[in-house]
Structures are given as structure tokens and as C-alpha cells.
Structure 1
Amino acid sequence: MILEHASLQVKPGRADDFEAAFAQAKTIVSAVPGFRRLSLSRCIERPDAYLLLVEWDTLEDHTEGFRGSDGYQEWRRLLHHFYDPFPTVEHYASVDRA
């Protein structure tokens, strides 16, 4: 299992619009082979900051399968204009889990 980690900084005043767009966009990513689950959390101290965690079967399910899909173009259209700066996405492999 691979964990995708993205720290999302949404433009000030756009949080409600972002959350509404994300509700649409999550149906796109959840249909991709290799997708397991996701969570989107909003920061308490910085309400325009979000943490997106997505579990994938393999790294390639995200980097090639999702990002190479037509659905990714729709994901980009729905969400990418909300970010400033553009998020850094990192991938983690589990070392220990309780």
C-alpha cells in the first residue's frame, strides 16, 4: 500500500467553493483502479489549509493510472485553480502500522 500525502493551501476565502468542488472530484479518483480510500482534513489553526491523504495499491496506480487518465484532466479542472502555492505531493510506503 502506498500513501499519497498532499498539503493543500487554498486561496483565502475559497474554502467553501473548494470543498464543494472536492465533493465532485472525489468520485473521479475513487473510480480509478488501485484506489483504496482517501481523507481530506481541514486545518484548525489555518482554515485555508487542508491535508489530503490517498491510499493506493501501488505508486503507479497514482502516477501513471490516475495522472494519465481522462479523469485526471477533470480533477485538474475542478480543483487546481484553488491552490496557491501549488501543492507538493509525496508518496510513503508503510514501515509499521498498529
Structure 2
Amino acid sequence: MILEHALLQVKPGQESAFEQAMREALPLISATPGFLRLEVRPCIEAKGKYLLLVAWDTLEAHTDGFRGSERYGEWKRLLHHFYEPFPLVEHYSAPVASA
């Protein structure tokens, strides 16, 4: 399993609209073969900051499968205008330790 990670900084005052847009966008990403799950969590200490975690079967399921799909264009239209700055997206492999 690959874990995609991004810290999303949403423009001030846009938090509610972002959360609604994210709920609307969920079917776009979840329809991708190799998608396992998604979580978006608001930060307790910093208003407007969210943690995005997406689990994929493979890196290619995200990079080629989702980002290469027509659904990704709609995802971008719904969500990308909320971010300032645009987030760094990183991918992580299997844990080296867990409890």
C-alpha cells in the first residue's frame, strides 16, 4: 500500500466551502482502480489547515490512474482554487515501525 500525504492550506474564510467541495469530489477519486481510502482532517491548532491522506494499491494508481483520468480535471476544478500555497504531495511506502 502507498500512502499519499499533503498538507492543504485553505484560504481564510473558505473552510466551509472547501469541506463541501471535498465531499462533492470524493466520488471522483474513489472511482479510480487502486484507490483504497481517503481522509481529510482539519488541524486543531491552525485554522484552515487540513491533512490529506489517501491510500492507494500502487503509486501508479494515483499518478497514472487518477491524475491521468478525466475525473482529475473535475477534481482540480472543484478543489485547487482553495489552496494557498499549492500543497506539496508526497507518497510513502510501507511503515518501518508501527504499533
Alignment length (residue pairs): 98
Partner of 2:10: 10
Deviates more, 1:88-97 or 1:12-21: 88-97
**1:94 offset after TM fit, Å?**
1.2
Structure 1 unmatched runs, 5+: none
- The CA RMSD measured in Å over matched residues stands at 0.8
Distance 2:98 2:59 in 1: 19
Q: Is 1:63 the counterpart of 2:75 in the alignment?
A: no
Quick check: 1:53 aligned with 2:53? yes
Shift of residue 97 of structure 1?
A: 3.7
Alpha-carbon shift at residue 27 of structure 1 (Å): 1.1
Percent identity of paired positions between Structure 1 and Structure 2: 62
Match of 2:23 in 1: 23
- TM-score normalized with structure 1 length: 0.97
Equivalent residue letter for 1:73? G
The residue type equivalent to 2:54 in the other structure is V
Q: Which amino acid aligns with 1:19?
A: E
Q: How far has the Cα of 1:21 moved from its partner?
A: 0.3
Looking at structure 1, the residues matched to 25 and 51 of structure 2 have their Cα atoms a distance apart, in angstroms, of 15
Q: Which runs of 5+ in 2 are unaligned?
A: none
Cα shift readout 1:62-93 (whole Å, capped 9, x = no counterpart): 01100000000000000000000000000000
Paired position in structure 2 for 1:77: 77
Deviations 1:8-43 (A, max 9, x none): 000000000000000011111001000000110000
